[in-house]
Structure 1
């Protein structure tokens, strides 16, 4: 059994260590979705050395608890279907455990900050588009929902307190709208059950969702000041403060000057502390077999300090999650943040997100055309969820469709002009509006607006102010009102050729 698995299982058992009765984690509850077409781990606790039997849809597998009372068994791959019953018994357990109404389908983790968190019922003062209609139509028998409560932890947790529910108007109204629309579209198109795990927290930075070990491993520049201490203390701001207090007391006693310590974001209740959200809201699910993950986050990191490093941070997060799940290069699909405000940091961050596509098994949904200049929570979450679904249908499910926005490939000077090449660019169009949003610069990197024309899957740009262009960028402001689409109606996202 993997060391990480052992640590998580140990956490699972802390409520009743060495219990005589067989126990399962909360994620293995009634109404769950088990991942189809993959071996599926079933795990839990029992008496030390107890023999455990797992039965599911005609399969019978056995395991023996170790000296700590921890066990795991593996079901062979199953086709989509259900409902089925999961039964777990032990030779020292009086009454077998039963979990009913289990479906077999695809399981997706949905994580990020407030735009992924925003539920079908919207936020106070920020309603969802057509929310009453959408809630009323939310009886979806093939969708199952697990809503993770907000928690932080200094160490990885092996279990959550949350369980699966059927998808009804009552349960869906509090669930991530983006995840719901994504899952509904996938289920309708692929005709399979979909399980969605909503583990989100508004206003949080990406580094909170990476394990402390992952942060130290990647040596992230934005959080590197105390990377070693963060890893050792498992991301606990309180522990780090306590260490500083001890060190300061020793220095003071020795008559030495006290150092200036990095600011610790305790005013966010620990949710900004590196690793704490991974520990509490991701780690409990890393034993659970999944199809992939969808991610919508970045607004909190769209600052002059953090945006330039976001590519490294998001890449580290994806690689860390894949290591933690140990299920190979599972699909990781993310949303390029939408339009908002006036600063250029959002353009920098959106380009950093685009560059993350260099990592295999990733996909990006562009949402520039659904954003609002004065509302950081755009009401149109249907488009966001459906574009994530398009990316999945193309790249994960193998459907023959265009699920990717036009992507920048290269820019080449042509005399006093600059030609920009795109992939996924069949039928480039501005839908009747003038071409805009492009800027070019010479060697001095002083960007000015450019005029241009669409020529097949390229755009030719020029400006009398830049006789020898070398660089181009697009949609670099916070709010973007000039959109470029492909024939599938998907908009190009922010980029720079630098």
Structure 2
């Protein structure tokens, strides 16, 4: 730059500006740390961001103050002592002359709301949306949503900010997440923060670190298929082919108009890039989970499984791996992880049949015995045969909230659906014992029990008669099976089944056998 024409005063001013700029540290923080955020009570508070390499960063919250040094790539992370529920507070972060102040900060309960489309499903599309909107006036419930980004590169931030729950902000938020958070807020009377990072249609493997999938040795075929896709897929070529097909279709439309014929169907759709979507292993772990890992939370609620139903046996290993992966990376011990079991869906059948969806539900249930601090909301009675997205999200959320209120907040309420415990052959009958977790068995709609099938050594199941013997036992039989060896209950895509407990929680679908299922060899 030629500076000879500058007057000495102007030159001095310029150098002063440059000097101040060089001394002023860059200071940034992720979207999680914005006005109206909710911090998890009674747990260490972590706040992080970036500054200049080696810069001193001071974080102040109330009477607490801590100073840390940014590392050699400019990252810093501050730890503050736990706080009780309350607020509002201010968080001030300073580095050199730079300062950021976060206002209206509350301390309460924070939950991650994750999974696929049934968790992403918003309030506006759920039952009684107009009524729900009218009452969504909860300034101490705060909402934030992670935009959907699928990538193999770990993301540190996202584009959104915390918002107060209002009739305007609640519309597009996760319905299950909001209804769950509302129940927690109303019961505990403390602030609640909800982080929604669900992505419709997502596969479980997309939510797990890629290296962990590789090192487990149980997903080699799955990863091999993806490696082939990664080597061969060319999105630019796919777009070019789509444009050719679209042009050809448009020509047919023009010709049809000239000929007075109906417009042709089959309009080509633009290709979706599988490399940036929600099925590729680790894509969502990196894109929508990594940016929130480490933020203080009470736990996670999860609604996913539909996209993995065709590989249900694989899910027996994949789902626990996912949960443990999250917990290990969060570094917050075994935080609660509660999920929704798959709802009833597709056509009802009046005869016993194999079912991939039943096997996926079984894999979900098995996870209860593999990991601590887990829970399952059974909704085999809340689905819709012709809609994979049941609109009754209120009852789904209440069943999740029961788990949290009983397990994490000390409320003396029945929270778990009854589960199969053991069986005993008694002549031509099988007597089942169920664990009812402090409740009693009951039936819904009719006194006659529905949903039971029974089989002998030939493995051919037939519809069975079943009666409640006492509060925890059921006797099952059929004149067609003289020497029974196995019973199944609610085993199907959309089973007609009506056994529940006194609180209306449906019995968890189960089978007493371990015969090979239809998804056993699916990888």
TM-score tier by shorter-chain length is 0.7 to 0.9
Match of 2:54 in 1: 49
Q: For residues 268 and 408 of structure 1, do their structure 2 counterparts lie closer, same or farther at Cα, with a shift above 3 Å needed?
A: farther
Aligned to 2:365, which of 354, 360, 364? 354
Q: For residues 445 and 190 of structure 1, do their structure 2 counterparts lie closer, same or farther at Cα, with a shift above 3 Å needed?
A: same
Match of 1:98 in 2: 101
Alignment of 1:12-411 (within 5 A): 20-90=25-95, 92=96, 94-122=97-125, 128-221=126-219, 224-225=220-221, 227=223, 238=230, 241=233, 266-267=273-274, 269-303=276-310, 306-342=311-347, 344-358=355-369, 359-411=371-423
Task: Describe the superposition over 1:85-132 as per-residue Cα deviations: whole angstroms up to 9, x where unpaired.
Answer: 110011x2x23100111111111111111111110111xxxxx21010
Matched-pair contact (CA < 8 Å) for 1:370–1:378? yes
Larger Rg: 2
Q: For residues 27 and 432 of structure 1, do their structure 2 counterparts lie closer, same or farther at Cα, with a shift above 3 Å needed?
A: closer
Q: For residues 61 and 488 of structure 1, do their structure 2 counterparts lie closer, same or farther at Cα, with a shift above 3 Å needed?
A: same
Q: Secondary structure at the match of 1:302?
A: helix
Q: Secondary structure at the match of 1:383?
A: helix
Q: Which moved more, 1:334-343 or 1:195-204?
A: 334-343
Match of 2:424 in 1: 412
Task: Describe the superposition over 1:278-318 as per-residue Cα deviations: whole angstroms up to 9, x where unpaired.
Answer: 11010111121111000001112122xx0222221111110
Matched-pair contact (CA < 8 Å) for 2:25–2:98? no
Matched-pair contact (CA < 8 Å) for 2:377–2:396? yes
Task: Describe the superposition over 1:340-381 as per-residue Cα deviations: whole angstroms up to 9, x where unpaired.
Answer: 014711111111111111121100001111111111111110
Alignment of 1:449-488 (within 5 A): 449-456=463-470, 457-488=472-503
Q: Cα offset for 1:459?
A: 0.5
Q: Cα offset for 1:268?
A: 8.0
Q: Secondary structure at the match of 2:190?
A: coil
Cα distance in structure 2, aligned partners of 1:211 and 1:160: 19
Q: For residues 240 and 54 of structure 1, do their structure 2 counterparts lie closer, same or farther at Cα, with a shift above 3 Å needed?
A: farther
Matched-pair contact (CA < 8 Å) for 1:372–1:378? yes
Task: Structure 1: give runs of 5+ residues left out of the alignment.
Answer: 1-17, 123-127, 243-264
Matched-pair contact (CA < 8 Å) for 1:368–1:491? yes
Q: Cα offset for 1:154?
A: 1.3
Q: Cα offset for 1:217?
A: 3.4
Task: Describe the superposition over 1:382-436 as per-residue Cα deviations: whole angstroms up to 9, x where unpaired.
Answer: 0001110001111121211101111111222122111111112622111351201
Q: CA RMSD in A?
A: 2.2
Q: Secondary structure at the match of 2:442?
A: coil
Matched-pair contact (CA < 8 Å) for 1:229–1:240? no
Matched-pair contact (CA < 8 Å) for 2:151–2:275? no
Q: For residues 195 and 150 of structure 1, do their structure 2 counterparts lie closer, same or farther at Cα, with a shift above 3 Å needed?
A: same
Matched-pair contact (CA < 8 Å) for 1:19–1:46? no
Q: For residues 121 and 432 of structure 1, do their structure 2 counterparts lie closer, same or farther at Cα, with a shift above 3 Å needed?
A: closer
Q: Cα offset for 1:58?
A: 1.5
Matched-pair contact (CA < 8 Å) for 1:412–1:420? yes
Cα distance in structure 1, aligned partners of 2:494 and 2:223: 34
Q: For residues 385 and 268 of structure 1, do their structure 2 counterparts lie closer, same or farther at Cα, with a shift above 3 Å needed?
A: farther
Cα distance in structure 2, aligned partners of 1:220 and 1:192: 43
Matched-pair contact (CA < 8 Å) for 2:274–2:280? no
Q: Which moved more, 1:208-217 or 1:266-275?
A: 266-275
Cα distance in structure 2, aligned partners of 1:160 and 1:189: 31
Cα distance in structure 2, aligned partners of 1:165 and 1:210: 28
Cα distance in structure 2, aligned partners of 1:365 and 1:207: 22
1:448 aligns with 2:459: no
TM-score of the two chains, using structure 1 as the length reference: 0.85
Matched-pair contact (CA < 8 Å) for 1:19–1:45? no
TM-score of the two chains, using structure 2 as the length reference: 0.81
